[in-house]
Structure formats: C-alpha cells, structure tokens
Copies of this chain bind each other. A is one copy, B any other.
Amino acid sequence: MITSSHNEKLKQIRKLRSHRERERSGLFVVEGEDLVAAAQAAQVEPELVLVAGEDVEPELLGAVSTLGSGTRVIGVYRQRWSQPGGQLSVYLHGVGDPGNVGTIVRAAHALCDGPVVLGPGCADPYSPKAVRASMGSVLARPPGRASLGELTGSKLALDGRADATLAEVEVEPPVMICVGAEREGLPPELSGTVDASARIPMRPDGPDSLNVAMAATVALYELGRRMPGHG
C-alpha cells in the first residue's frame, strides 16, 4: 500500500499531466473505473494500475488525479498510433481543443472504420481531457499521425463556403473527411489539394459555423450513410 506522496509511481502519474513528459515517455494516464474498464475491454494491457484503498491511500490517488478526490482507479498505458486507412476516416488540421479531438475520436469509432488522423496543430489525444472526451475510444481505436500530403484516397474538405452540400457531393471510397480549425477551416495551401469540398447546409439566420466536433460527426454520419455496408 502506497502511503507517501513521494512514491515514484504517484510522481510518474503527476508528471504525465505534461505534454512533454507524455512525448518523452510514450505513456499516458487513464482515470476512473469506466475508462480503465474500457481499456480492459479493448484488451490493452496497462503499464501500471493503482486502485484506491488496495494499492494506494485514497487521498493520495485523488491528489494526483485531474478529476480530484473520488477517483478510484488510475492506470498508466503506452500510447499507440494507427496507420491511416479504412474506407472512411477523418483528418484533422489545427484542431487545438483536446475535448474536440477526443469527441471526434469517439464519433469516428462509432461511425467509420478508419482511425482519426492528426495533422499539425492538433491537441494531444492522450491528454487527460482528450482521453476522457473519447470515453476510451483512443484505446480501442488509436489515432494516426500524418500530414495531408502523405495520405492517399479521396480527400473531402468540410468548407462552409463550398457550393456542394454533403448530401450532393460525390466521392469514391476510400474517403478521408478533412476538417480544419473551427473558424479558419483548412489553410489555403491544403484546401487547394483536396479532391472535393462540401458544406453542411445551415440556416441563413443561424451561426456562422458548427462546433468542429459536431461538423466532423455530421460528415461521418452522412458519408457513412451513403456507403453500402458501412456503419
């Protein structure tokens, strides 16, 4: 039973809050019973699991958790990265909010067969906030890392100024839905390299844009719906 906050395992968990330490070690932290159970269901082996009251005093575990006291389990896992692929997947560029990145990883896990591929400027999918938003989907379907130019298949950009709507646009699978930052969209040097662009029809009296995770999810739904046997 760990009874000191100077314990090396607790120190490691605390350090893994920092992006630099996650990069250096290739590890990340999973907090809470639901997410540790999700890792188990995905048959991902932990490097370390600490259970409050069994392995460590509950207050000490709460003190290293980003969720605070009441966290009953914390696990440390090795980051995994997928190769881009699948008949339908998502490429993100400059999506800096970890909650949005995690939510899109979860939506892709539900709606398409390929991993979410992270380009430059994206939030770390292994930060505590992203892992939580993914509800464990980062464990079951690890994201990939690439630049858009490295990817093959049809590239479809989500772009509020496109002529075609998502329902109208024609693309041949495999399709990669390309999503940029919420306001800027894809940078011009990339939007010139895609095969097609499409917009989500929105009301003229509404907001300028949807949240980036909403937009990606709607596109996954619409494209998946039109692919026979997908979904």
Residue positions of A touching B, CB distance < 8 A:
99, 103, 106-107, 109-113, 133, 135-137, 140-141, 167, 200-203, 206-207, 209-211, 213-214, 217-218, 221-222, 224-225, 231
Contact = CB atoms under 8 A, between A and B. Distances in A.
Given A200-B221, A214-B214, A218-B221, A109 B207 contact: yes
B167 A211 contact: no
A110 B202 contact: yes
A107 B211 contact: yes
B111 A203 contact: yes
Nearest to A137: B207
A206 B109 contact: yes
A88 to B, nearest CB: 10
Given A201-B231, A217-B217, A222-B221, A210 B167 contact: no
Contacts of A137: 206-207
A191 to B, nearest CB: 21
A76 to B, nearest CB: 22
A225 B167 contact: yes
Given A99-B99, A103-B214, 12 more contacts: A109-B207, A110-B209, A133-B211, A135-B207, A135-B211, A201-B224, A201-B231, A210-B217, A213-B214, A217-B217, A218-B218, A218-B221
A231 B222 CA distance: 15
